[in-house]
Structure 1
Amino acid sequence: MSGHGMLTVASPWPVGVTIDRLETALTGAGLLVFARIDHAGNAARAGMELRPTELLIFGHPKGGTPLMQDRQTSGIDLPVKALAWQDEAGQTWLTYNEARWLADRHGLGAGSEQALAAIESGLAGLVQQAVTP
């Protein structure tokens, strides 16, 4: 499933396990995890209900810095993020931004192509590791 610059893949595990698996894949590949946000937990603390939803913010300066050197505005979309969420039927999904969407959104030039390609292929592989039994 994709659209609006996002890619979404099904996960056979609950949201928390999906994020755990993604975090393991990311750190195993040498990426840094900057934050993990439990949106459902935060909603519960505010007295509101939300199906399981967790955001992982991660990356590496070697990947993101070239994009910001090209167009500093790309820093608003970096580090990279992935959202695991449960739909109304109980299915878990993992959604992340397409690297090409970043290029289009920020008008990144040819100098960013190598970094974008590395982010795109690397992220796709790590997401597959996280959701493949």
Structure 2
Amino acid sequence: MTEDGLITVQSRFGVTETIDRLAEVVKRAELLVFARIDHQAGARDVGTALRPTELLIFGNPKGGTPLMQDQQLAGIDLPVKALAWEDEHGKVWLSYNDAHWIAERHDLRDASRDAVAAIAAGMEKVITAAAGMDQS
């Protein structure tokens, strides 16, 4: 588990393409896309600058509901989300919350262990594909 609860991988693509790819991978995995937020556009709308930054919120109630049944407050971290962002050097990264960190944060019981493991594995799979790191 990561110390700060975030997992970050470098993307081979720009921010918008990374999120486009993630949305497509998520849909192919039969997950729901709940929202897409363009933070750079929001900053521009209020007259400020921000490097490209986009958030995708997605998931499946079958995966998240058991966590909320265990500890309802886990819903603050669900559905899952991923942030594509460009750093000051022009590199693009894709970051998301570690499912095991979410479990620890909300003191989820052992009964939720399988759901947490499934979310962690699913996140790794879709993030890797979206970032272009699935070189199998």
Q: TM-score range by the shorter chain?
A: over 0.9
Superposed, 1:1-133 pairs within 5 Å as 3-132=3-132
Distance apart, 1:132 and its partner CA: 1.6
Distance (Å, rounded) in 1 between the aligned partners of 2:46 and 2:3: 31
Distance apart, 1:3 and its partner CA: 4.2
Runs of 4+ displaced beyond 6 Å:
none
After TM superposition, the score normalised by the length of structure 2 is: 0.95
Look up the SS of the partner of 2:65 in the other structure.
Answer: helix
Look up the SS of the partner of 2:35 in the other structure.
Answer: strand
- Counterpart of 1:116, as a letter, is V
Distance (Å, rounded) in 1 between the aligned partners of 2:125 and 2:49: 33
Distance (Å, rounded) in 2 between the aligned partners of 1:11 and 1:36: 18
Distance (Å, rounded) in 2 between the aligned partners of 1:28 and 1:121: 16
What is the root-mean-square deviation of aligned Cα atoms in Å? Answer: 0.9
Distance apart, 1:52 and its partner CA: 0.2
After TM superposition, the score normalised by the length of structure 1 is: 0.97
Distance apart, 1:103 and its partner CA: 0.7
Q: Give the fraction of aligned pairs with identical amino acids, expressed as a percent.
A: 56
Look up the SS of the partner of 2:81 in the other structure.
Answer: strand
Q: Give aligned pairs, total.
A: 132
Gaps of 5+ in 1: none
